[in-house]
Amino acid sequence: MAKETQSMALSVKKADDISTWYTEVIQKANMADYTDVSGCIVFKPYSYAIWEKIVKTVDDRLKAMGVKNVYFPLFIPERLLQKEEAHVEGFSPEVAWVTHAGDTKLDERLAIRPTSETIMYENYKNWVRSWRDLPMKLNQWNNVVRWEFKHPVPFLRTREFLWNEGHTVFATKAEAEKECNDILNMYDAVLRDHFALYGVKGKKTEKEKFAGAEYTMSIELLLPNGRAIQGPDAHHDGQNFAKAFGIKFLDKNEKEQYAWQNTWAITTRMIGVMIMMHGDDKGLVLPPKLAPITVAIVPIIFKDSKEKVIKKAREIKEKLKDYAVELDDREEYSAGWKFNEYEMKGVPIRIEIGPKDVAAGHVVMVRRDTMKKEFVKVKDIVPKIKKTLESIHDNLYKKSKKIFEEGVVEVKSMAEFKKAIDSKKMVKALFCGKKECEDLIKDETGGASSRNIPFGQKLVTGKCVHCGKQARYSVYFGKGY
């Protein structure tokens, strides 16, 4: 029983040292492993199964919105990457370059896509000719590489990651802006209904917007350690890329117009956010909609009652066939070891069943989020599991909302601002919107950056928290993960 001797417990508490906790939990829960390529991880089956669930729900929603999937090359010739000025400036410091094929030096360096605008739009310009071709809503699911030099963290900051990148083209700015908003709402629904994560929708400041966009909208989240992190985003590019790449069409009056574009994405980073947000001192806590195993059934096996218990466990599995149920009847592991394992893996519900339970016509149900145990009659199991999964989801969502709400301090002065940041809070403050002012705030607070300008603001009256000039809006600031 070699495996039994391996300690499953985490060596630190999440509240004491979340970084060590995170590193341990992703390894002990079999989510990821390091590789010989610095900053790149293996997505092990357990985390990849979560990604498949994320892909499925986002992809279904995109298809319902009329978006079609495509696949463009991994490589971008250097001269294409340079076509949009702000874009190349933003990305070139992080680009991985292919210079040779076999023994042959290439005539032109090829970038590994950090994002695909510049390889896609060179074709788009040939595909968009008339108003009849619009809207054109394309998306791809792929891998991208951004050679960040900051300390890599599995899922949260990896040099290669997986994502979807949507690239849509419209005849009018109004249509493009409407879609940008619809997409952000779609991502928000996925975060709420599948990740059980609360985030705040808003617009990025000029300083923080996507390289090449007219503006960027994002969903911002707050981790339990007071670090802000960005979720999915949607960029309205205006006509910036259309002008750089010549994406033009004849409108209904036969007049040539530049097209309007959006781009938007959700990435594997969200797996990391979910781990950090929901996990506890026993390991992962997975939201039911994304859990590869929804219910683990652990039979308590004694020699003389084994057959009877396994039989009942199989019956229960059959009753629950609408869920991903794992009946773990391995005999080389003890029940206690299995309990620890499913706790570490964050399986939403565990069912224990021994000979006495069979006799009594019930099972023991343990929900992972609260670790609350209760007896459940076998005849009630189907509705009970359904209700409990919903309750787990709601509980996780509420907790993540509470972390956000309790983690934000509204500040009126830079003294309050600094105090809040020092005590690991996010702040909400009136702000003038100027890049120079934002640069100074970052310097003076030891690294707090603007997160977003939340939607739904009434007309703002008041002064910028930093420069004291007329404020434009209320903005979230915080230290990023």
The full DSSP string for 271-293 is: HHHHHHHH-BTTB----TTT-S-
CB 27 within 8 A of CB 168: no
Least Å distance, CB 122 to its own copies, is: 6
Nearer to its own copies, 162 or 358 (CB): 162
The DSSP 8-state label assigned to residue 195 in this structure reads I
CB 298 within 8 A of CB 352: yes
Least Å distance, CB 42 to its own copies, is: 5
Nearer to its own copies, 36 or 304 (CB): 36
* Alpha-carbon gap, residue 258 to 248, rounded angstroms: 4
Nearer to its own copies, 130 or 413 (CB): 130
The full DSSP string for 24-60 is: HHHHHTT-EEE-SSTT-EEE-HHHHHHHHHHHHHHHH
Least Å distance, CB 81 to its own copies, is: 11
* Alpha-carbon gap, residue 213 to 408, rounded angstroms: 28
The full DSSP string for 320-354 is: TTTS-EEE---SSS-HHHHHHHHHHTT-SEEEEE-
Nearer to its own copies, 17 or 94 (CB): 94
Nearer to its own copies, 12 or 65 (CB): 65
CB 24 within 8 A of CB 11: yes
Least Å distance, CB 163 to its own copies, is: 12
Nearer to its own copies, 33 or 206 (CB): 33
Nearer to its own copies, 38 or 423 (CB): 38
* Alpha-carbon gap, residue 62 to 55, rounded angstroms: 10
Least Å distance, CB 58 to its own copies, is: 14
* Alpha-carbon gap, residue 201 to 187, rounded angstroms: 10
* Alpha-carbon gap, residue 31 to 148, rounded angstroms: 22
Residue 406's nearest CA partner among 398, 414, 415 is 398
* Alpha-carbon gap, residue 166 to 330, rounded angstroms: 44
Could you tell me the maximum CA-CA distance found in the chain, to the nearest angstrom? 85
Least Å distance, CB 231 to its own copies, is: 21
Least Å distance, CB 113 to its own copies, is: 10
Least Å distance, CB 314 to its own copies, is: 19
CB 163 within 8 A of CB 234: no
CB 167 within 8 A of CB 117: yes
Least Å distance, CB 197 to its own copies, is: 22
Nearer to its own copies, 77 or 355 (CB): 77
Residue 223's nearest CA partner among 411, 15, 441 is 15
Give the helix/strand (H/E) hosting 390: helix 381-407
Nearer to its own copies, 85 or 374 (CB): 85
Summarize as ranges the residues that interact with its own copies (CB under 8 A).
Answer: 2-3, 33, 35-37, 40-45, 48-49, 51-52, 68-77, 80, 92-103, 109-110, 112, 119, 122-123, 126-127, 129-130, 132, 138, 142-143, 145, 147, 149, 160, 162, 250, 332
Nearer to its own copies, 94 or 416 (CB): 94
Least Å distance, CB 278 to its own copies, is: 22
* Alpha-carbon gap, residue 238 to 116, rounded angstroms: 17
